[in-house]
Amino acid sequence: MMKEYANIIEVKGLAKTFDGITAVDSISFDVFAGELFGFLGPNGAGKTTTINMLTGLARPDAGSICIGGIDCSRKPRAAQHLIGVVPDESNLYPELTGFDNLCFCGALYGLPKCQRQEKARELLDEFGLTKAADRKFGGYSKGMKRKLTIAAGIIHKPEILFLDEPTTGLDVASARQLRQLIADLHRAGTTIFLTTHYIEEAQRLCERIAFIVSGRIVKIDSVENLLQPLQEKNVVQIICANAKNDIQHKLSESFPDMEFIFSEQNVIRVESGNPILAGAIVRFMEEQGVEVSEARRIRPSLEDVFVQITGIEADVMKKEKEKAGGGKA
């Protein structure tokens, strides 16, 4: 059934304004059936508003949405049988047990009693929550809550799963486990629409990524294509103990084919289209009285692509990550 549509989601000119503030500004994109599509951007970029419009929780001001061949522009809730949604905050019922929560969510999609109970047990087992099945959801840890919320989102076997910031606020182990679960779901054929502000997470999981900033999509492409231009570039990161104010100018003068970027205090990023001789730079810096503690080649990442395309420093995303209480992605 999934293979019937080349594009399982088609969005054209989608826009949404709240109290005069544009949250989503005429965005257009397609999601292919069976792909893991990433929607990446800082907080307030419009990711959740876009998900809300795609899932029928918000009405677009302009534009069209087609999900699984169903035109949802006029009837925002027309394709809800095709989708599963895992919101950015776990929103199951704290007074119900894990098992009852899953059964209730199955019932919302019309699953008969025996089928939803069987599926609930299966999912609890798959997500490692069998022992907590009869405990109330309110007493679950954050990681367990996220896992059960994902299980609740897929109990009816949706064709498309919307995951809104699935690993935000989780510890490293839980985040890793969840990413594995997401990858498994994708391998099983579910189309996944993932929003995140963890760049590394998007790079690891997604096939294609859209960068959204201030309500606008600034770039959509496959991860390989996004990384391609930077892979032709050589990058060395130098960490020093006492970078002097004039060192950037001196380095640029002595090594004219290289670009020296001071992204953080005492961290220098050296970029060049030609091979970089790190030893020569380190020697030069030491001659200038700068104490170098580390110099290493680094592979360009999606973070570099994001910074290059959006102009937003990776630090901003990192700070948001910390503010959200998230562990390392």
Name which of 112 and 229 has its Cβ closer to another protein.
112
Strand partners, 235: 271
| Placement of tokens 């995140």 in the chain | 196
Single out the residue of 11, 14, 65, 111 in contact with another protein (rule: CB under 8 A).
111
Name which of 13 and 110 has its Cβ closer to another protein.
110
Single out the residue of 58, 72, 235, 295 in contact with another protein (rule: CB under 8 A).
58
Name which of 111 and 251 has its Cβ closer to another protein.
111
Helix 98-108, helix 142-154: angle, nearest 10: 30
Q: Which of the stretches 51-59, 192-200, 231-239, 243-251 binds another protein when contact is defined by CB under 8 A? A: 51-59
Does position 69 interact with another protein (CB under 8 A)? The reply is no
Residue count at the site for another protein (CB under 8 A)? 29
Residues, the chain: 329
Does position 62 interact with another protein (CB under 8 A)? The reply is no
Does position 2 interact with another protein (CB under 8 A)? The reply is no
Does position 110 interact with another protein (CB under 8 A)? The reply is yes
Give residues 113-152 in contact with another protein (rule: CB under 8 A): 152
Q: Which of the stretches 89-97, 122-130, 165-173, 321-329 binds another protein when contact is defined by CB under 8 A? A: 89-97
Does position 55 interact with another protein (CB under 8 A)? The reply is yes
| Torsions phi, psi for 172 (to 5 deg) | -55, -45
Does position 107 interact with another protein (CB under 8 A)? The reply is yes
CB 206 within 8 A of CB 38: yes
Give residues 3-32 in contact with another protein (rule: CB under 8 A): 18
Does position 229 interact with another protein (CB under 8 A)? The reply is no
Does position 95 interact with another protein (CB under 8 A)? The reply is yes
Does position 93 interact with another protein (CB under 8 A)? The reply is yes
At 145, list the tokens. Answer: 């809550």
- 73: how many CB neighbours lie within 10 A of its CB? 16
Give residues 147-166 in contact with another protein (rule: CB under 8 A): 152
Name which of 6 and 114 has its Cβ closer to another protein.
114
Does position 177 interact with another protein (CB under 8 A)? The reply is no
Does position 104 interact with another protein (CB under 8 A)? The reply is yes
Single out the residue of 59, 157, 187, 244 in contact with another protein (rule: CB under 8 A).
59
State the minimum distance, in angstroms, from the CB of residue 205 to another protein: 23
Does position 68 interact with another protein (CB under 8 A)? The reply is no
Single out the residue of 31, 51, 105, 199 in contact with another protein (rule: CB under 8 A).
105
The contact set with another protein (CB under 8 A) reads: 18, 55-59, 76-77, 80-81, 83, 85, 87, 89, 91-96, 104-105, 107-112, 152
